Structure 1
Amino acid sequence: MPEASYPPPRPALRERRLWDISPPVHTGAPVFPGDTPYQQQWAATLGPGCPVNVATLTLSPHVGAHADAPLHYSPEGATAGLVDLAPYLGPCRVIHAIGVGPLVRIEHLRHAVAGLPPRVLVRTYQRMPQDRFDTALPAFAPETLSWLADLGVRLVGIDSASVDPADSKTLDSHQVLRQRDLRVLENLVLDEVAEGDYELIALPLKLIQADASPVRAVLREL
């Protein structure tokens, strides 16, 4: 009788599916009106005497999928490189509020908050516009963010460019972020993501002086 192998072989782990929820960043990628667009030049190019390509980038930290740091809406707020990373990594729920109008209100999310994890991403677009800035972008009603904070949420995300309407001068929802110490992701692409629970991975860069950071936002199957 053949001897049993020790230790016994482990079963192969099934690779969990990933959803890339970051829009492409390139020359011409839409930015908030007045913000710095993405620009790229070559500081070095492959050729005789040069073994590498090296790019020089100019961009706002709010280009593409990004995390606003508290400094963005509070003069005493932490910079992107000094925020706690824990809110940007872990279980999250995607909730659909497609076509609900200019503001996501409590009643648009109430159907999906049983057993809510501490991270919530809200899909408002049927197809998120990736080739233009939407001046009528959907945003959060400030009371919705307060309600989510009361439910234990630590991070909110949205598939539009801002949690406030594009023409807002008071930034009421950003002020709720400040008051409730919430973290936020904006400009996500949730077009292909079903409502449900996932693992979020969207770490900001260690930009010690910046008011925001680009992220490569990814959802992973639980």
Structure 2
Amino acid sequence: MTTDFRAHFDFAIAFANGGGMQGEGFRLDVPREEMTSDQVGALLVAHLGLALVSEVTIRDLLIVAETHRGSRGVDAQGDIDAPAARRVIDLSHPIEAGLVTYPGLPAPTITSHLTREDSRARYAPGTEFAMDIITMIGNTGTYIDSPFHRYADGGDLASLDLDTLVDLPAEVFHLRDAWTAERRGIAAITLADRDLRGAAVLLDTGWDRHFGTPAYGVGSPFLTEDGARFLVDAGVRLVGIDALNIDDTESGGERPAHSILLAAGVHVVEHLTGLDAVPPRGARFTAAPPAVRGFGTFPVRAFATVAAPH
């Protein structure tokens, strides 16, 4: 596995047309461990999107092995070479009989319609089949919400355009150290450092570690109302989270994130898992449900494809 590196430093920037700016304790993704202050300075300028810079001073530079957070101007893979292949990262929870996805909702049941033993009487010798029945609520495992889930006149699963579900550019926000029990909401300002138009925005909170346990249903991180409005204005196509709900389920019956995103035709995928294995940028995301008419929510096999290094 490729090691990620981040630079820790203080900086001062001067502009050719006057003025300047400075920062302390800044952190920046870098492509390799051995980098000069000038190289880090160039990446800093690219990350901040600055123009007319005349001088960059980097102080107290320390480069450490640390997971990338998605700095602009840095290859998401941390690899200078071109990729030789691609790999697939599964982001879905397996479904099995008795699985509790959301506290209070029924767990799936799986029964046989035709057992292998019974099928032997119907087919040629040596040929047998199993045909099974699964009964489950649409909100099972890793699933997608269509507008019909929230709005009676919204589009159902069969209406969803595959172009908005398949091979989307993924923008992953690794937020495991960005929220606390006292501040669970993911706000707009946390998501404001990238161009997100047309992307699948995936929120990696680490809450999936509790999936299938009572702890999963209490204290879960969520997307705030202003965060949802920001993502709609940014032109995203899909928002996914590895937690109990895109909304705060402990604040009463209001569901502003669902309401805002689904009204704008932005798909919502909940109960993702394994997002820590997906780079901040450069991956492609897919989460397509079956085309069921008159149905608003259904499990998906969500996955990311990423470039594999030589």
In structure 1, the residue corresponding to 2:192 is in which secondary structure?
A: helix
Distance 1:37 1:198 in 2: 32
8 Å CA contact 2:246, 2:257 repeated in 1: yes
TM-superposed CA distance for 1:61, in Å, is 1.3
Distance 2:228 2:240 in 1: 11
Distance 2:254 2:175 in 1: 24
TM-score after normalising by structure 2: 0.62
Flag the 1:164–1:202 CA change in 2: closer, same or farther, 3 A: same
Listed one character per residue, the Cα deviations across residues 187-214 of structure 1 (whole Å, up to 9, x for unaligned) are 1111432322311111111111211121
| Structure with greater strand percent | 2
In structure 1, the residue corresponding to 2:262 is in which secondary structure?
A: helix
Query: Which amino acid in structure 1 is aligned with residue 200 of structure 2?
Result: R
TM-superposed CA distance for 1:131, in Å, is 2.0
Q: Which of the two has higher C-alpha Rg?
A: 2
Residue 46 (structure 1) aligned with residue 113 (structure 2): no
Aligned partner of 2:282 in structure 1 is 197
Match of 2:210 among 129, 152, 163: 129
Flag the 1:21–1:145 CA change in 2: closer, same or farther, 3 A: same
Listed one character per residue, the Cα deviations across residues 170-199 of structure 1 (whole Å, up to 9, x for unaligned) are 111111113322111111111432322311
TM-score after normalising by structure 1: 0.85
Match of 2:272 among 182, 185, 188: 188
Query: Which amino acid in structure 1 is aligned with residue 97 of structure 2?
Result: T
| Structure 1: gaps spanning 5 or more residues | 1-12
Distance 1:114 1:87 in 2: 17
Listed one character per residue, the Cα deviations across residues 36-57 of structure 1 (whole Å, up to 9, x for unaligned) are 2111011111124252111110
Supply the RMSD in Å over aligned alpha carbons: 2.0
Match of 1:80 among 151, 157, 164: 157
Distance 2:264 2:200 in 1: 14
8 Å CA contact 2:232, 2:261 repeated in 1: no
Listed one character per residue, the Cα deviations across residues 107-166 of structure 1 (whole Å, up to 9, x for unaligned) are 32234x146552211111165323224222211001101111212212111111311122
Distance 2:286 2:199 in 1: 13
Aligned partner of 2:86 in structure 1 is 16
The share of aligned pairs that are identical, in percent, is: 24
Distance 2:208 2:272 in 1: 11
Distance 2:279 2:210 in 1: 18
Residue 216 (structure 1) aligned with residue 296 (structure 2): no
Aligned partner of 2:230 in structure 1 is 147
How many residues align structurally? 209
Distance 1:56 1:179 in 2: 34
Relative CO higher for 1 or 2, CA cutoff 8 Å, sep ≥ 6? 1
Distance 1:17 1:191 in 2: 15
Shift >3 Å, 4+ stretches: 114-117
Flag the 1:115–1:164 CA change in 2: closer, same or farther, 3 A: closer
Listed one character per residue, the Cα deviations across residues 61-111 of structure 1 (whole Å, up to 9, x for unaligned) are 111111101111111111112122221122121111115132111232234
Aligned partner of 2:58 in structure 1 is none
Residue 109 (structure 1) aligned with residue 191 (structure 2): yes
TM-superposed CA distance for 1:35, in Å, is 1.8
8 Å CA contact 1:120, 1:153 repeated in 2: yes
Residue 94 (structure 1) aligned with residue 172 (structure 2): yes
